[in-house]
Amino acid sequence: MPDPSEIVHRTCPLCEAHCGIAIEVDRDSGTVLTVRGDEQDSFSRGYLCPKAYGLKGLHEDPERLRRPLRRRGTDFEEISWEEAFAEAADRLREIRERHAADAIATYLGNPNAHDLGAILYGATFQKALGTRWRFSATSVDQLPKMVASSQLFGAPGRFAVPDVDRTDYFLVLGANPVVSNGSLMTAPDMPGRLRALRERGGHLVVVDPRRSETAAIADRHLFIRPGTDAFFLFSLVQVLFAEDGISLGPLEERTDGVDELRALARDFTPEATAAATGIAPDAVREIARELAAAERAAVYGRIGTCTQRFGTLASWLVDVLNALTGNLDSEGGVCFPRGAATPADDTPRKTGTFPFGRWRSRVRGLPEFAGELPVACLAEEIDTPGADGERVRALVTVSGNPVLSTPNGARLARALGRLEFMVSIDLYLNETSRLADLVLPSTGHLEHSNYDLVFDGVSVRNKAHWSPQVFAPAPDSRHQWEILAELAGRVNGASADDIHDLMIGGIARATGLEPDTARERGPEQILDLMLRGGPYRLSLEKLEAEPHGIDLGPLEPGRLPRILATASGRVELAPALITADVPRLRAALAGASDPEGLVLIGRRNVRSNNSWMHNVRALHKGRDRCVLMIHPEDAARLDLVDGARANVTSRVGEVTVPVSVTARMMPGVVSLPHGHGQGGAGARQSEAARVPGVNSNLLSDEADLDALSGNAVLNGIPVRVVPAAPV
């Protein structure tokens, strides 16, 4: 008997690290035998985290949906794809005609960014609907960083990425890459890379209200009061100016706003901000001096610095510090990666002041950015009465679970129940899709090919890695891009092929190249054209020949002048949109928050991915991870002991959870992970629902935003904690 097992090499699509993996499969049974790290992948060198093995569980999960479902009362019935597409398109068209294009909202979740087909066709699908009411996980994530980049560098997607393999000094705020494996910083094996940094004599400094897994391996950890990073960062800037620590390096000639910054930072002395941040003035001065003295340093902030009240100011100040210390666009500092599927000529096609607030949400007047509105206002756009054409009546969710992932999930779930029509493109019947009229499941992660298009743009090394399909798709199934193309076509009386031809035509014109017609219509044909038109003149064929990926070298310093898209053609260190928010920060310093009150922050767990993958038993089993961490002094004051249950209340909701008493928390701060609370009538994830935990976004407040960007505040939520009544 021939051995039916075979090893397929590709990348793991589950998080931004995109580790190279070797999947051993049994072709006869269509099952995964093993998932290993690919030792020959020059980027990930065999690293993987426990989640990668979850690919097997996901592929084989009997509760993963394979066929379209239609709501029937409180349950669902399977229907054919033709019925599903016809019904979705008819209802959407009808709502658009009766009300307005803006009566249909869309919500794109995080996994879209990890799927080539979804990236390419998702944007086209949204355009085809013609709505301006577009929402996504961006506004519970990196929106502040995008607003900051748009003003500093002229483009929202130009992220300065830490050159982590060559830096000597790494200052990390509000990120826990040892667990999350890095974000807006694609770097497989962050634990190994941080170890290597220390082994070569470098320093890792972590600023976090919790002694996180990353803080635990750092040279220095500073507790910070949640939401006060902008104060701390401004103090660093103030010290740099006061002590002549500024040195912009080669970018000096291309940078504006330095004098304005000096003036803005003047009052934020370490003494003035210490009470708010909880960081002693001496510590601030030491860090400022170390940053200035380090040959090569990188400052990096992520979820904790974005999803807070001053998210944009904090994100901006992170890059300001990189610039002022000569580390922007510099080896071992922060750099701008160059993706293989980006235009070879990367001088910006459009320059100017990046637009902001071209339209506003109906109820609260929140600003549009890059074509989207903040998701914190989705519920009110549905549940607030309004005239025809003014109110959201229908919703399409694409790989998203906003009921668990966005603020005030309870209100959102109620609002979704009031829609005239809702479609969810999702792999599962979960807390969101269970409220839909139609659920359209796409093929599983191993049933389609992939390319990490988005994450090439934030990678700590330039590289290109093709991921072939591992298994043939289940019979009569549809890829995500096929679903999106079909719907995009049908709502406008066109075909999926028309949609594809339109897309590829655009890229052919931009690159001056002809598509490879030997390849079928679809994302592969489009990617091939993008690669051939890209800076390394690759092609899909060349990628297919390199199963362990192609290393395109370290980050290139000195790229920024060429790619700057600001109106001035210079780095705008003090852009008007952002500096206009500084008075709000100053006012907050004057009225510093109630030090007696507790505030809630979030965390991630290495065995799950936001709100999903909880149905994979191999990952989900074991102890309950949805516990409230609290400092011993706070626990004693509140009469809570380890393992006891507590009621946690915020302005908008209440949950009851077990507590874990630990000195790893800063006093006055409690931590609860997000992405838990699975279940609800109609949901079909029995393993997840076995130990569901609670939805931390029942506590996050849809009214509490980073006022500048509209991003949700998911860290620093005022809460009251009391012992729960015995059950």
Ligand X SMILES: Nc1nc2c(c(=O)[nH]1)N[C@H]1C(S)=C(S)[C@@H](COP(=O)(O)OP(=O)(O)OC[C@H]3O[C@@H](n4cnc5c(=O)[nH]c(N)nc54)[C@H](O)[C@@H]3O)O[C@H]1N2
Interacting residue ranges for ligand SF4, rule: CB under 6 A:
12, 14-15, 17-19, 48-49, 51-52, 181, 188
159-167, 419-427, 550-558, 623-631 -> range binding ligand X (CB under 6 A) = 419-427
222-230, 532-540, 547-555, 719-727 -> range binding ligand X (CB under 6 A) = 222-230
Nearest CA to 441 out of 684, 620, 679, 94 is that of 684
Task: Give the C-alpha separation, 385 to 389, whole Å.
Answer: 11
Pairing label, strands 466-467, 450-451: antiparallel
What is the closest distance, in whole angstroms, from the C-beta atom of residue 570 to ligand X in the complex? 29
What is the closest distance, in whole angstroms, from the C-beta atom of residue 490 to ligand X in the complex? 18
Q: Residue 291, Cα to own-chain centre: how many angstroms?
A: 28
- Residue 67 makes CB contacts below 8 A (sequence gap 6+) with 78, 79, 441, 476
What is the closest distance, in whole angstroms, from the C-beta atom of residue 617 to ligand SF4 in the complex? 17
Q: Does 16 bind Mo ion (CB under 5 A)?
A: no
Q: Can you tell me which of 37, 117, 278, 400 binds ligand X, judged by CB under 6 A?
A: 400
Size of residue set near ligand X by CB under 6 A? 64
Task: Give the C-alpha separation, 270 to 275, whole Å.
Answer: 9
Q: Residue 98's CB: how many other CB atoms inside 10 A?
A: 12
| SS3 per residue for 560-604 | HHHHCCCCCCCEECCCHHHHCCHHHHHHHHHCCCCCCCEEEECCC
Q: Residue 245's CB: how many other CB atoms inside 10 A?
A: 17
Q: Does 427 bind ligand X (CB under 6 A)?
A: yes
Q: 41 or 528: whose CB is closer to ligand SF4?
A: 41
Q: 59 or 91: whose CB is closer to ligand SF4?
A: 59
Q: 50 or 389: whose CB is closer to ligand X?
A: 50
- 433: its two tokens: 């899709």
Nearest CA to 593 out of 222, 281, 309 is that of 309
- Cα-flanking dihedrals φ and ψ of residue 398, to 5°? -125, 110
* Residue closest to ligand X when measured from CB atoms: 304
Report what 52 binds from ligand SF4, ligand X, Mo ion, none; CB cut-off 5-8 Å by kind.
Answer: ligand SF4
What is the closest distance, in whole angstroms, from the C-beta atom of residue 407 to ligand X in the complex? 8
Judged by CB under 6 A, the chain residues 481 through 500 that form the site for ligand X are none
What is the closest distance, in whole angstroms, from the C-beta atom of residue 389 to ligand X in the complex? 27
Q: 340 or 713: whose CB is closer to ligand X?
A: 713
Instruction: Fill in the per-residue mask, 118 to 157: x = in contact with ligand X (CB under 6 A), - = not in contact.
Output: -------------------x--xx----------------
What is the closest distance, in whole angstroms, from the C-beta atom of residue 81 to ligand SF4 in the complex? 30
Q: 21 or 69: whose CB is closer to ligand SF4?
A: 21
What is the closest distance, in whole angstroms, from the C-beta atom of residue 648 to ligand X in the complex? 13
Q: Running DSSP on this structure, what letter comes out for residue 369?
A: B
What is the closest distance, in whole angstroms, from the C-beta atom of residue 443 to ligand X in the complex? 8
* Residue 660, H or E segment: strand 654-661
Report what 153 binds from ligand SF4, Mo ion, ligand X, none; CB cut-off 5-8 Å by kind.
Answer: none
Judged by CB under 5 A, the chain residues 90 through 149 that form the site for Mo ion are 141
Its sign, for the CA torsion 246, 248, 249, 252, is: negative
Task: Give the C-alpha separation, 561 to 554, whole Å.
Answer: 18
Q: Can you tell me which of 37, 188, 226, 515 binds ligand X, judged by CB under 6 A?
A: 226
Strand partners, 394: 104, 421
Report what 209 binds from Mo ion, ligand SF4, ligand X, none; CB cut-off 5-8 Å by kind.
Answer: ligand X
Asked whether the beta carbons of 21 and 548 are under 8 A apart, the reply is no
Q: What angle do CA 108, 110, 112 make, to 5 degrees?
A: 65
Q: 188 or 332: whose CB is closer to ligand SF4?
A: 188
* Residue 81, H or E segment: helix 81-98
Judged by CB under 6 A, the chain residues 292 through 311 that form the site for ligand X are 302-305, 307-308
DSSP codes joined into one string, 515-542: --TTSPSSHHHHHHHHHHTSTT---HHH
Judged by CB under 6 A, the chain residues 688 through 707 that form the site for ligand X are 696-697, 700
Q: Running DSSP on this structure, what letter comes out for residue 53?
A: G
90-98, 110-118, 559-567, 625-633 -> range binding ligand X (CB under 6 A) = 110-118
122-130, 379-387, 595-603, 621-629 -> range binding ligand X (CB under 6 A) = 595-603
Report what 14 binds from Mo ion, ligand SF4, ligand X, none; CB cut-off 5-8 Å by kind.
Answer: ligand SF4
Query: Across the chain, which distance is largest between two alpha carbons, in Å?
Result: 78
What is the closest distance, in whole angstroms, from the C-beta atom of residue 289 to ligand SF4 in the complex? 35
Task: Give the C-alpha separation, 19 to 182, whole Å.
Answer: 12
Task: Give the C-alpha separation, 691 to 686, whole Å.
Answer: 9
What is the closest distance, in whole angstroms, from the C-beta atom of residue 16 to ligand X in the complex? 6
Q: What angle do CA 153, 159, 160 make, to 5 degrees?
A: 90
What is the closest distance, in whole angstroms, from the C-beta atom of residue 307 to ligand X in the complex? 6
Asked whether the beta carbons of 132 and 105 are under 8 A apart, the reply is no
What is the closest distance, in whole angstroms, from the C-beta atom of residue 640 to Mo ion in the complex? 31
Judged by CB under 6 A, the chain residues 170 through 209 that form the site for ligand X are 173-177, 179-181, 183, 207-209
Q: Can you tell me which of 430, 511, 709, 711 binds ligand X, judged by CB under 6 A?
A: 430
Q: Can you tell me which of 37, 54, 57, 111 binds ligand X, judged by CB under 6 A?
A: 111
What is the closest distance, in whole angstroms, from the C-beta atom of residue 525 to Mo ion in the complex? 29
C-alpha distances in Å from residue 374, one per residue of 184, 379, 693: 20, 11, 27
* Residue 33, H or E segment: strand 31-37
Q: What residues make contact with Mo ion under the rule CB under 5 A?
A: 141
Q: What residues make contact with ligand X under the rule CB under 6 A?
A: 15, 109-111, 115, 137, 140-141, 173-177, 179-181, 183, 207-210, 212, 224, 226-227, 229, 302-305, 307-308, 399-402, 405, 425-428, 430, 442, 445, 480, 601-606, 608-612, 674-675, 696-697, 700, 714-716
